[in-house]
Chain A
């Protein structure tokens, strides 16, 4: 069989048509890449339609002979252009750089106040630059801190109170860590303090207070918080504590911190420890103890500064917290009993703990007696419910409208909208994806998602076009293989080529398989050319996109992270499986309908029927040709290849591969399809008289 296969393949690639086929294939691939490329070049009347033109434009601004008035006008146009580019979600790195360059230049040439008109113009321009940068923040393309520093170095930026509002909102919605947010807010405080914008500073203080409040709330309600995050939160509060401006505000802040500490120990920490003990037993004891120490130390430092609570020291002696700690150590020792473990727990309780524990529990008692505390507990319960639904949904909807203004979202609208759509599979997976991205601070306009093939929206995913082009290539290859299998290279009996083959010392099965494999390999080789072509096109046009990771959602719950190149490879493999299946059908047709022309027509009809059937079930023109690649095969491979070694068994048991039988079914069905086709074709071929 291998001999027949080699021989046939050798002959196939010597066909003069192969070259033509390759050209047709590459042309089709290229055309589909061009037609479906997400990069849409601006087609307006602007005479600097590409990056090199913008370079020229920048040099134009740098030119000395041109009047300042003209320069500002041109800079404004340039800025508008960049905004347009940005709206089309193009890479803005270069645009930003160019804008800033021109801005810096204009700044250094500010007219000496005698021409108020020009100065006003410059102000306008500065304002536009600000707005542009503000819009960039929405996409997390530049850092908030960077932006604030930018403001700080631009004294001409006077900004209104409303601007401050917007800015604070930005900081609040800034997809970064709390620490970064705090630093950003801090930078803003410093700026306003330095410039004595009293009014604005008050506003800022209020914001800081609110911000801290929500920060702490987050810590409280996020039960699974880990040590690092916790440390970050505490540092946040520290920053605010140190930079607080008004004394009154400082007092309320302290109040807040103490309440926070109280909540932390009374509600969160014990629960956390319990969860910690039960779920992550693999964590070694020392880490646990170090963490516990750190919690206590950090909180203790904060509390020490609040002297009022020292009064309550005597009132607490070895109550809840120690109980929890003992419970924890007990649980732990049960699982992994050792002398060292017991000793270290004991020493922990006896020594370090004693210093701070008094302080902590003093306030717990106070809190319990406080009528306000009950309200807070209620709030916790309410917020917990809300946070599971509303918070996620709001974030999801916010990102759903990524290209609109992130700040103008009506929460109620979002909530209603999300409820309406939340049950749909697609919406749910998108929500999951966006939530994941936001929570991990990975959301940016640069991310790439699973293939969507969405023609309706004008913002296709970045590697969509590569998948699309491969799909088109696969369709062309199937057409080529129909021609090869039926006309050029027939199992035709009337023409006599089969006569010469069947008198060779190989069985008919071997000859059939050999021919099938040779044709399939030809398909694979052609596909490989397309693959390389698509890859190189992508590499030459969108390098930054191809270096980023595809994040895709499986079953609306499982998040998979995968390199674009690997995703493309997996996608190609699943396409090839479908090509193998279609080729088996074509071969069966060729065997049944001896004459080459008839079998050509019939296989065309059969493929058309399959296509229209799929079109009815999937109702998508592009999906219809290889329906299983998108539905099951691709994702099956994707899920399988994304396993991590260390938790293999755990992940396997909970993975969609096990829980979703469709994947297995589709693979089994494919193998069954192809082998059934083989058995039938072979039986017909064997019993036939030539």
Chain B
């Protein structure tokens, strides 16, 4: 059982102008886990990240980082946190190395060698002696991440890691984040609107809407969903006939799609369906399990939310 790194206990943040940015949110993250935060605009994504960093003071609740409350012992708690909120503001006139050295000096015992090691890990060791103003965006982003992990934090918070990056750079970035979680055993919290990338890297997803956390599931749970949320696609020689058989004999919901049939069921029924089809000597060319993308799930959740809200009102 991996250790719990971050524990958020019923945290509420009310701003002075009456807006509840975060409302009674609780969740926890363990070592090596990548936690993705999803949500539409102004749903409290960034606020929760800022609360964890101590940039914003919470109204109620508590946040424990590796068992230390940031309320009681801020310095000790924040020692284990690395953060990159928004794109990094580095000092353009200084080299990458000097920038990192500057941030490293806030901690004790970080040598120049450590800095170059991290640069190698993140793959920008050739840019170390170059000024920030002459580096490409990707490198800047990497330096930004390097400054956040230079002190070997247990928790890394990144707000929008793919912001302003092109496709190739996004790929490198996501593999990098995965690497950090797996190799360095860092717990990561990421918030981004690039749902495709989030789907690739996150272990757990929390969906925020209007300050509330409306969903908290692992990625597998979220995508595969409950029993009735799965589709099986069978490509057979007589799709009409096959559909009829399955609908009648197995009492499942079936629809036609060209020369294939779509069966709405779960994986467990796969064996029964194939044996039924074989019984009638129908040949099966291809079986596909059709899962939803994170994007669809996200849209569904928000839709459901909106519906229930309108129904309530």
Interface positions of A (Cβ within 8 A of B): 3-4, 6-7, 10-11, 14-16, 495-497, 499-507, 687, 689-690
Taking CB as reference atom, which chain B residue is nearest A8? B102
CA distance A532 to B176 in the complex (A): 53
A7 near B93 with CB under 8 A, answer no
B86 near A496 with CB under 8 A, answer yes
Interface positions of B (Cβ within 8 A of A): 15, 50, 53-57, 74-76, 78-79, 81-83, 85-89, 91, 93-94, 98, 102-103, 105-107, 147
B56 near A503 with CB under 8 A, answer no
B93 near A15 with CB under 8 A, answer yes
B106 near A4 with CB under 8 A, answer yes
A518 to chain B, nearest CB (A): 12
Choose among B50, B53, B79, B105 the residue that contacts A7 (Cβ–Cβ < 8 A).
B105
A495 near B75 with CB under 8 A, answer no
Given contacts A496-B87, A500-B89, 20 further A-B contacts (CB under 8 A): A3-B105, A7-B106, A11-B102, A15-B93, A495-B89, A496-B86, A496-B88, A499-B53, A500-B88, A501-B106, A502-B53, A502-B54, A503-B54, A503-B83, A505-B75, A505-B79, A506-B106, A689-B55, A689-B57, A690-B55
Across-interface contacts of B79 in A (CB, < 8 A):
505
A5 to chain B, nearest CB (A): 11
Q: A4-B106, A11-B102, A689-B56 are in contact. Are A503 and B93 (CB under 8 A)?
A: no
B78 near A505 with CB under 8 A, answer yes
Choose among B55, B76, B78, B81 the residue that contacts A499 (Cβ–Cβ < 8 A).
B55
A10 near B102 with CB under 8 A, answer yes
What are the 9 A-B residue pairs with the smallest beta carbon separation, nearest first?
A690-B55, A504-B106, A689-B56, A496-B89, A7-B105, A505-B79, A503-B83, A505-B75, A497-B89
B105 near A16 with CB under 8 A, answer no
Across-interface contacts of B56 in A (CB, < 8 A):
689-690
Across-interface contacts of A506 in B (CB, < 8 A):
75, 106
A496 near B75 with CB under 8 A, answer no
Taking CB as reference atom, which chain B residue is nearest A6? B105
CA distance A501 to B102 in the complex (A): 10
A11 near B50 with CB under 8 A, answer no
A212 to chain B, nearest CB (A): 81
Across-interface contacts of B76 in A (CB, < 8 A):
505
CA distance A687 to B55 in the complex (A): 10
Q: A6-B105, A499-B86 are in contact. Are A11 and B91 (CB under 8 A)?
A: yes
Across-interface contacts of A14 in B (CB, < 8 A):
93-94, 98
Q: A496-B89, A507-B75 are in contact. Are A502 and B55 (CB under 8 A)?
A: yes
Taking CB as reference atom, which chain B residue is nearest A496? B89
A3 near B89 with CB under 8 A, answer no
CA distance A690 to B98 in the complex (A): 26
Across-interface contacts of B57 in A (CB, < 8 A):
687, 689
CA distance A503 to B82 in the complex (A): 7
CA distance A11 to B83 in the complex (A): 21
14 contacts between A and B (CB under 8 A): A11-B94, A15-B93, A496-B85, A499-B83, A499-B86, A502-B53, A502-B55, A503-B55, A503-B83, A505-B106, A507-B75, A689-B15, A689-B50, A690-B50
B123 to chain A, nearest CB (A): 22
B78 near A503 with CB under 8 A, answer yes
Across-interface contacts of A689 in B (CB, < 8 A):
15, 50, 55-57
A503 near B53 with CB under 8 A, answer yes
B47 to chain A, nearest CB (A): 9
Across-interface contacts of A495 in B (CB, < 8 A):
89
CA distance A506 to B57 in the complex (A): 16
Taking CB as reference atom, which chain B residue is nearest A17? B93
Taking CB as reference atom, which chain A residue is nearest B55? A690
CA distance A87 to B243 in the complex (A): 122
B56 to chain A, nearest CB (A): 4
Across-interface contacts of B78 in A (CB, < 8 A):
503-505
CA distance A4 to B79 in the complex (A): 15
B74 near A500 with CB under 8 A, answer no
Across-interface contacts of A11 in B (CB, < 8 A):
91, 94, 102
Q: A16-B93, A495-B89 are in contact. Are A7 and B75 (CB under 8 A)?
A: no
Taking CB as reference atom, which chain A residue is nearest B58? A689
Across-interface contacts of A4 in B (CB, < 8 A):
106
CA distance A7 to B100 in the complex (A): 12
Across-interface contacts of B106 in A (CB, < 8 A):
3-4, 7, 501, 504-506
Taking CB as reference atom, which chain B residue is nearest A504? B106
Q: A503-B53, A506-B75, A689-B56 are in contact. Are A7 and B85 (CB under 8 A)?
A: no
Across-interface contacts of B75 in A (CB, < 8 A):
505-507
Taking CB as reference atom, which chain B residue is nearest A14? B94
Task: Among B74, B83, B98, B105, find the residue whose CB has the most chain A CB atoms closer than 10 A.
Answer: B105
CA distance A614 to B74 in the complex (A): 44
CA distance A15 to B81 in the complex (A): 29
A2 to chain B, nearest CB (A): 11
Taking CB as reference atom, which chain B residue is nearest A16? B93
Across-interface contacts of B102 in A (CB, < 8 A):
7, 10-11
CA distance A689 to B74 in the complex (A): 15
B163 to chain A, nearest CB (A): 12
A16 to chain B, nearest CB (A): 5
Across-interface contacts of A10 in B (CB, < 8 A):
102, 105
CA distance A503 to B49 in the complex (A): 12
B81 near A503 with CB under 8 A, answer yes
Across-interface contacts of B93 in A (CB, < 8 A):
14-16
CA distance A507 to B87 in the complex (A): 23
Taking CB as reference atom, which chain A residue is nearest B159? A499
CA distance A624 to B79 in the complex (A): 47
Taking CB as reference atom, which chain A residue is nearest B52? A503
Taking CB as reference atom, which chain A residue is nearest B99? A11
Task: Among A4, A7, A496, A505, find the residue whose CB has the most chain B CB atoms closer than 10 A.
Answer: A505
CA distance A634 to B147 in the complex (A): 47
CA distance A503 to B87 in the complex (A): 15
B103 near A500 with CB under 8 A, answer yes
B191 to chain A, nearest CB (A): 14
CA distance A603 to B106 in the complex (A): 29
Taking CB as reference atom, which chain B residue is nearest A689? B56
B42 to chain A, nearest CB (A): 16
B55 to chain A, nearest CB (A): 4
Taking CB as reference atom, which chain A residue is nearest B105? A7
